[in-house]
């Protein structure tokens, strides 16, 4: 079995185009994984619902502008690309392409299960525990 390339990854319909007002977010499930769907004035964005610091539920965080903060320890992430914007998180969270399907009037997410990230110490100390 071959791996799917980015362009072959299907888009999954998640709801009608008006499912969220600008400034709102929702937690949805795709393939048993939890995703945060955000509607901003310039469109929809999707991120994994798991903080890269310690697995906090990002979808329960506060949305301010283009940033969502983690309710556990306050790290902020850019919802447009998943970039970590403040400590204690320094690694991004996965983000997924979102599109509007005119034919069905639905929002669709190109979801691909994120690869697990190897631990990298931001100070440059990487320990081998073997």
> Is 38 among the residues that bind ligand FES (CB under 6 A)?
no
Binder of ligand FES out of 75, 79, 84, 93 (CB under 6 A): 75
Per the DSSP assignment, residues forming a β-bridge with 29 are: 34
Closest among 50, 15, 43, 100 to 68, alpha carbons compared: 50
Nearest to ligand FES of 39, 53 (CB atom): 53
Identity of the residue, 77 or 111, whose beta carbon is nearer to ligand FES in the bound complex: 77
Q: Does 79 bind ligand FES (CB under 6 A)?
A: no
* Comparison of 63 and 70: residue with beta carbon closer to ligand FES: 70
Q: Which residues bind ligand FES (CB under 6 A)?
A: 51, 53-54, 56, 70, 72-75, 88-89
């Amino acid at each position: 079995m071959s791996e799917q390339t980015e362009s072959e990854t299907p888009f999954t319909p998640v709801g009608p185009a008006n499912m969220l007002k600008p400034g709102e977010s929702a937690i949805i499930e795709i393939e048993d994984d939890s995703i945060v769907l955000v509607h901003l004035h310039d469109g929809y964005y999707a991120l994994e619902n798991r903080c890269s610091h310690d697995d906090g539920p990002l979808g329960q965080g506060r949305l301010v502008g283009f940033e969502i903060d983690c309710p556990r320890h306050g790290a902020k992430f850019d919802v447009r690309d998943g970039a970590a914007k403040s400590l204690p998180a320094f690694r991004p969270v996965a983000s997924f392409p979102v599109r509007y399907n005119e034919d069905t009037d639905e929002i669709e997410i190109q979801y691909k299960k994120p690869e697990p990230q190897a631990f990298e110490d931001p100070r440059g100390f990487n320990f081998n525990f073997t």
